[in-house]
Amino acid sequence: MSEAAVIEQTRGLYPRVSLYALILAAAGIPLYIHLPRYASVELGIGLAALGGLLLAIRLVDLVQDPLIGWAIDRFPRFQLGFALLAVGGLAVGFPLLFTRAEALAQGGMGALAAVLVLLFSAYSLGMILLYGRSATLARIPTPPELMRIAAWREAGMLAGVIMAALLPTLLVAMGAAGSGYGAFGLTLGAAALLVGVLTRPIWQRPVIQGARFSLADLTQAGATRLILLALVNSLPVAITSTLFLFFVEDRLQLANAAGPLLVLFFLSAGLTVPLWARVAVHLGGRKTLLIAMPLAIGGFVGAAFLSAGNLAGFALICVASGAALGADMVILPALFSVSLTKARLSASLAFGIWSFAGKLALALAAFLVLPALQTNGFVPGETNTPEALNALNIAYAVVPCVLKLVALAMVLALPAEEAE
């Protein structure tokens, strides 16, 4: 079959890929941005305890994520079942998390841990399946086409992020009780079920599988270097995601602007994804990252010197850092997928390891910065001392800046032939 015929036959494929990515990203926002404030304010859980809990769940992922990847590779004909299982877990988990606040508060850490394990497991399954099946879902498994499907996938991810960022505010405006978390959970659950139905066709495509997989093969393909880069590069975003609402509402005193600023950040990322994809096709992934990463560094430096109430300044920072995130999201997974495809390696198990690296960054961010803030006297939603707010400023802006510089150095050290 000619390339033109393949493209015609799969015309509606990429929008469905984008839709599946949308619901996963919409699920990720509550887990990584809303959860710290929801757990501390609504459930009364201390920041240090929450950080420890999130790290403990990552220890589950240490074993679980590679096993999920292995299962996807081992049972290729069951990919539709895996896809539906993932969205089913989200459909059950989010109503449990956000509509049962009183029960979770009474049940303590154990009840919250059980619900979070369900949600994180479903989220992991969907993400590993989606990323690991890139070659299968691409119209043709070539590097340019893998970059194109990455752009569609990440555009869907960012649309989901924007949707999830806006939903609580919109639901409250429409009359939802309290902070809108209950209606938020129910809406996400219903959306997950709908997406499961609409995206069924993409999981019925023939699976392209690698013939083998080993850590030695992964290293030889240059993929382990990319996994380490992804871990270090994810840490700054993980820290700022964890602390975003605290920084905006408590440090900048812009509580009413938190939702719009979050949308601006991810909208900037979403609008730049197609641009970064095109640049990467022409210049290569390494050179594109070297253009984008200084934007993030400049954003962190600017945030460190903002005064309270500086809405315009932080809006500009959201635009710059969001654009940098767009490059990270589309290029690094695409480079990883290209390296696996060139080496003919089984992708899902490898993306299980990739997924764990990203979530380990989020867990380390919560485990390191949340207890440190509590030690320095920071209390979300309360009047804080200058020392506590300064600790928040360092955690949100200075530490991520240093980590991003390390990631930039790692990109400079990438062999050019492996990163194009």
Chain segment 339-349, per-residue pLDDT in tens: 766 666 556 66
pTM of this structure:
0.69
Q: What is the predicted pLDDT for the residue at 6?
A: 43
Tell me 207's DSSP state.
P
Instruction: List, for residues 351-381, the tens digit of each pLDDT value.
Output: 667 767 777 777 777 778 888 898 899 888 7
CA distance 12 to 216: 38
Encoded tokens for 7 = 């493209």
All structural domains of the chain, each given as residue ranges with its CATH number in brackets, are 3-418 (1.20.1250.20)
Q: Are 237 and 113 in contact (CB under 8 A)?
A: no
CA distance 96 to 103: 10
What angle in degrees, to the nearest 10, is found between the helix axes of 13-29 and 181-198?
Answer: 160
135 vs 104, 150, 242, 347, CA distance in Å?
41, 10, 32, 8
Please return the burial class of 165, using the count of CB atoms within 10 Å of its CB with bins 0-12, 13-18 and 19+: buried
Instruction: List, for residues 40-60, the tens digit of each pLDDT value.
Output: 777 777 777 877 887 787 777
Q: What is the predicted pLDDT for the residue at 31?
A: 72
CA distance 268 to 30: 20
Encoded tokens for 97 = 């998390």
